[in-house]
Structure 1
Amino acid sequence: MDGSLKGKVALVTGAGRGIGRAIAVELARQGTSAVAVADLDETAVEETADLVRAEGAKAEAVGCDLRVRDDIEAMVTRCAERFGGLDVLVNNAGVIDTAFTTGHDHGVGSLPEEVWDAVYEVNLKAVWLTTRFAAPYLRRSTRGPAIVNAASVSGLVGFPNCPAYGVTKAGVIHLTKVTAVDLAPVRCNCFCPGVIDTQLTQEYFAAAEDREAMARELVAPQLVDRLGRPEEVARLVCFLASDSAAFITGAAYVVDGGALAWRGVKG
């Protein structure tokens, strides 16, 4: 599959597992010459780097706490210096409210302030900071520079008990648009996954009183009757990062099995 990503240097955050890992591997598979992969879990991101190398691309594993400004700046600098620039930035990292609190009531009226702050710092502020530090390198790129951000269908419609997640993902959608305006001709788009089979989704299910009921509830509105797969999202991300999407910027793409295409729920 030639989009083309050949010869480009990419940085993917949240690449330790799930969608981020799938994106990094797919970038390598489609011809990206080098992929820097970053995650808080250094062991997991080293595993991702090995998978990238197995696909024929160079890789650099970076441990990074996206709640720490200096870590973010060092991550971007390390990538650009290691590979001589940066052409593609994928802001994929994300966390959900339930990762930072126990119990089953995480609604607007009860979510602890520190949980709101933690989700905001990773899901939205870190996206802005990473973009800010990457901007000088992307502007110097002559190989079709592009940014792809991870939003969510939760940024388009409301879901219960994850207010910080939904609000920050809505923020990512708008940040994508203003980034496309401010950094043009660097392109910036975002993807909005539905229910994808990742660790984040499994953690959300685990926080529910009835895990199986929650899973059924989330999949029921979909026209495709299953969880999405990380590699299905990865292929969309690679398209948006590639030269095939050269006329696309400031857009949000939904990959949700048809959940937002109608107002129904399957029995």
Structure 2
Amino acid sequence: MLNGKAALVTGAGQGIGRAIAVEIARQGAAAVAVADRNGDTAAETARLVDDAGASSVAITCDLRDRDQIEAMVTTAASAFDGLDVLVNNAGIIETALTDTPTVDELPEDVWDAVYEVNLRAPWLTTKFAAPHLRRSQRGPNIVNAASVSGLTGFPHGPAYCTTKGGVIQLTRVTAVDLAPAVRCNCFCPGVIETPLSRAFIDRAEDPEAFRQAMISPQLIGRLGRAGEVAKLACFLASDDAGFITGGVFVVDGGATSWMGVRSHDSNSV
């Protein structure tokens, strides 16, 4: 599906980003640039990409730094003599940065940090990657990681929800501005089983009860898997999605499709 393409994936040191980078390699890509703030985890993902059959380069990048973002794109494009696919996957959430994440108590510096990584960085990465993508003859496209949090409100996430909603709009306007040469789509994950989500659950006063509360809205009856999100991202990046651009694709086990209140009969909704 991705035969011969060269890709850059941000936030690829673990979780969904790692799964996407490895799946891109499995689906026939020639090369994958793996970018993450943590150089060690980026290098580990790069080894997995190599094992999956693609060439790799690991790039350490702080996405809050404009110059590092530009250097990241240049490094990837230079290493592969071009760029065909950009996956803007990296993201952070305020609950990992502060104990007061509500809209009225969120520290301004935490808002700024979430904005810089979640929205400013995808825009800058797209800006710097666009010239390389326009030159590609191998179905160039961009895949952005938004979130169901960008579609509806969630408690304790004013910066995360706002920036992920912004990613959805960035996706649409990018599809318009770069058409017809470059496609752009985004996926909106719900609660996905990753190291970060497990750490978030484990910090709860009653982790198991909190985990069950996270599972409860899922019509599928479980949390999502990083590999499931990766397969969607790879489809959007592939030539099979050649007539799809400006799209927003939800992968959340059905959680946002209903009110989340079941009847007394557990087999009915």
Amino acid corresponding to residue 225 of structure 2 in structure 1: R
C-alpha deviation, 1:53, in angstroms: 0.4
- Which of 53, 59, 62 is matched with 2:59 structurally? 62
C-alpha deviation, 1:262, in angstroms: 1.6
Amino acid corresponding to residue 102 of structure 2 in structure 1: G
Cα distance in structure 1, aligned partners of 2:210 and 2:162 = 21
- Which of 165, 170, 191 is matched with 2:165 structurally? 170
Stretches of structure 2 that go unaligned for 5 or more consecutive residues are: none
Q: What corresponds to 1:257 in structure 2?
A: 253
Cα distance in structure 2, aligned partners of 1:13 and 1:207 = 26
> Percent identity over the alignment?
67
C-alpha deviation, 1:178, in angstroms: 0.2
Cα distance in structure 2, aligned partners of 1:210 and 1:180 = 43
Q: What corresponds to 1:132 in structure 2?
A: 127
C-alpha deviation, 1:207, in angstroms: 4.4
- Which of 221, 226, 229 is matched with 2:222 structurally? 226
Q: How many residues align?
A: 262
- Which of 59, 73, 77 is matched with 2:74 structurally? 77
C-alpha deviation, 1:154, in angstroms: 0.4
Cα distance in structure 1, aligned partners of 2:197 and 2:90 = 14
- Which of 20, 26, 37 is matched with 1:29 structurally? 26
Q: What corresponds to 1:123 in structure 2?
A: 118
Cα distance in structure 2, aligned partners of 1:265 and 1:32 = 43
- Which of 180, 184, 191 is matched with 1:188 structurally? 184
Deviating 4+ runs (over 3 angstroms): 206-210
CA RMSD of aligned residues (A): 1.2
Give the match's secondary structure for 1:176.
helix
Give the match's secondary structure for 2:9.
strand
Query: Over residues 38-96 of structure 1, what are the superposed CA-to-partner deviations in whole Å (9 max), with x where a residue is unaligned?
Result: 00010001000000000110000000000000100000000000100000000000101
Q: How does the TM-score come out when normalised to structure 2?
A: 0.95
Amino acid corresponding to residue 254 of structure 2 in structure 1: G
Cα distance in structure 2, aligned partners of 1:166 and 1:201 = 16
Amino acid corresponding to residue 243 of structure 1 in structure 2: D
Q: What corresponds to 2:209 in structure 1?
A: 213
C-alpha deviation, 1:199, in angstroms: 2.6
Stretches of structure 1 that go unaligned for 5 or more consecutive residues are: none
